[in-house]
Structure 1
């Protein structure tokens, strides 16, 4: 039988705890643990949830990785993608690649009688993943494009549609200009309206047929401006990118979505700092409270310590008793904290009660990531670190004399 653990349980579940100072001390200890768990769970779940939501939105809109011609550089107007040493089939066969789709982009201006908007016309083809894009659609539908056929439908962002006072079913004139050429006018029908909540996307991009973009850019019917590569797991982007880069050909270049929008990525990285800071603060608060609980319990049970020493228990056994006792006090706090924290997070995940300003946070609802690994790590981490932190103050027990302790009132 494990004597320290057995004795710890006897003290922890003793009815005497309800009639003395232990009752208040135990309440304080459990309350601090519960609050620490609640705050830590909310911080981690919403912080990681926000990071993943923003990254996945960027990747789902334009691919986790894009392949473009070296001639394009940072221009919004596509140059013809080179086929020299471009091993497209091998890229499609990579186990991490979920899908690919071709595109051509060209800059232009959408104009009404009262207003105008600078836009990037993104031409899509028959390989466009309409289902993946559905999450962004506010109303209407995306253009169903066929190779060699001109589709006059476009999808505008909600921001552009509001600025131009347009809705689904309306027509819109777009002006495209090229060097040493007259402006080109195209009239489109608005078939849908989308919203990603990412300002850099919603302010610019219009989705339309690739054949219009090819015609404006003087591309041949089988030429493309680039490919969007979608991954099965966007967290694998850093490991997959070097392989895709090698297969892209020396006249093309690959670009990660995280490099395309570095200002958003820099903002996302702040989450890591905030998460680490908040968890550290909560951990310090919990540890300080638990140490205080241990010291008060030792002082309160000085007589019991003296009696145990008289009966032959050594200092190590008595320290183990009080450490176990304090950890047992923490367990109800851990359970209560997890129930309340997870309950709140589940409500937010299902109903999206707490809203955000997408112009500042790139998401309109606080996202929640309920990863079981994080949940278990928080509880076990607080328990283990508290147990380690209790070792040093427990040495106070070795200073207690059995004779004086028995006389202690």
Structure 2
């Protein structure tokens, strides 16, 4: 058997009777807790980024195509619905779906209440797969090829404020400027067909979904005029490159923007969570390293007599160093094992039962989301083990400073 491994195993077996046992236990606990915190923080940050991003993409798509002048307006100017253009976008690699939309600002009124709202017109090409998960009650709008549907989907926050439920009716008022400068109100009575809740409060309190034909009729557009297009991609990591290809295919007078460019504040906030995650990882790694360095120094000092005897028998400094590094690797491995059990266990419990709750108005989610990246967990384990052993090489050099004669006398 390899000499350093043999001696290291003997040290481990006699560990129960040594003074350093408590220090070793503390080191294992520190490593376990550090790894658990790293796994939990990474999984939660990944969960936040994925869940909130998917909510935004599900409501707006990944890429928006509209008139250049519409960036700061909720009343869209018309662009032509072109099947050739739509097919060219569908043929771009990575594009999952493209749909039309149109928006118009108005007022929603019930018998007792009134408030401002943005009607977002959608068509039969609406990507209901992404949106259906947010429907709490009712069913989605049923479209007709010739007649404009009189159904409307409103958010839970709007329904609560106006005391509306599925099946109720509400009147929407829209203001159109007349040719002589007068503003003419136009009313539409619509029936609540569904109530949804994305958790994105600034969108939920403003937007309601209607048949795009209603917007076309209100604006005096023909059936081939829409407010813009929303493009969905298969992998959000490729948004920018796909947006560049969409821009090349689009009319030069159209504006092609990613959703990150349209509402950068939310995505900046999500990126800030990634920075917080890195800070936590560094702090936890430092805690683990300090505990392991302290533990190794105590192990070496406690076994000064053994080191002196091994040197007197002809053992090289390098071989004795490896004895303690192997022992340290064993301590670290045990700590990593328990850290994985604790960290992954808490993540599984949160994912299954949603124990940790959050105010949805502030964080866009009602429970803390968890997204475990097993490759990242593996990297955390390997990185912690390798970095710990590299940093432990320095304190292990203390072995070379111990003189055999003095060490044998030491007790």
Q: TM-score, normalised by structure 2?
A: 0.95
1:33 to 26, 31, 34: 31
Hey, what does 2:102 align to over in structure 1? 104
| Alignment of 1:115 onto 2:113 | yes
Residues of 2 paired with 1:85 and 1:103: CA distance? 15
Residues of 2 paired with 1:283 and 1:368: CA distance? 22
- 8 Å Cα contact 1:356/1:363 also seen in 2: yes
- 8 Å Cα contact 1:152/1:189 also seen in 2: yes
| Alignment of 1:173 onto 2:175 | no
| Alignment of 1:212 onto 2:214 | yes
Hey, what does 1:364 align to over in structure 2? 366
Hey, what does 2:262 align to over in structure 1? 260
| Alignment of 1:303 onto 2:301 | no
Hey, what does 2:7 align to over in structure 1? 7
Deviation string for 1:283-336 (max 9, x for gaps)?
A: 111100000000000001111111221222211221121112111111111111
Hey, what does 1:46 align to over in structure 2? 44
Alpha-carbon distance, 1:82 to partner: 4.8
Alpha-carbon distance, 1:35 to partner: 0.5
- 8 Å Cα contact 1:87/1:249 also seen in 2: no
Change (3 A) 1:68 1:404: same
Residues of 1 paired with 2:79 and 2:338: CA distance? 58
- 8 Å Cα contact 1:86/1:248 also seen in 2: no
Residues of 1 paired with 2:200 and 2:129: CA distance? 19
Residues of 1 paired with 2:234 and 2:271: CA distance? 22
- 8 Å Cα contact 1:147/1:211 also seen in 2: no
Hey, what does 1:237 align to over in structure 2? 239
- 8 Å Cα contact 2:81/2:225 also seen in 1: no
Residues of 1 paired with 2:6 and 2:107: CA distance? 78
Change (3 A) 1:217 1:6: farther
1:387 to 379, 386, 389: 389
Structure 2: gaps of 5 or more residues: none
Alpha-carbon distance, 1:56 to partner: 1.1
Residues of 1 paired with 2:3 and 2:99: CA distance? 67
Q: TM-score, normalised by structure 1?
A: 0.96
| Alignment of 1:89 onto 2:84 | no
Residues of 2 paired with 1:315 and 1:243: CA distance? 63
SS at match of 1:208: strand
Deviation string for 1:108-152 (max 9, x for gaps)?
A: 110123222211111111111222211111111110223332101
Deviation string for 1:151-185 (max 9, x for gaps)?
A: 01110000111111101110000001122241110
SS at match of 2:245: helix
Alpha-carbon distance, 1:2 to partner: 4.1
Structure 1: gaps of 5 or more residues: none
Hey, what does 2:229 align to over in structure 1? 227
Deviation string for 1:14-50 (max 9, x for gaps)?
A: 1x21112132121011100111011111111001110
Residues of 2 paired with 1:17 and 1:73: CA distance? 69
Alpha-carbon distance, 1:85 to partner: 12
2:327 to 325, 328, 353: 325
Deviation string for 1:176-206 (max 9, x for gaps)?
A: 1122241110000000001111122111110
Residues of 1 paired with 2:133 and 2:325: CA distance? 51
| Alignment of 1:248 onto 2:250 | yes
Alignment of 1:55-66 (within 5 A): 55-66=53-64
Residues of 1 paired with 2:292 and 2:154: CA distance? 57
Residues of 2 paired with 1:85 and 1:176: CA distance? 30
SS at match of 1:274: helix
Alpha-carbon distance, 1:399 to partner: 0.5
| Alignment of 1:192 onto 2:233 | no
Hey, what does 2:273 align to over in structure 1? 271
Which sits farther off after the overlay, 275-284 or 311-320?
311-320
Change (3 A) 1:391 1:351: same
How many matched pairs? 407
Hey, what does 2:339 align to over in structure 1? 337
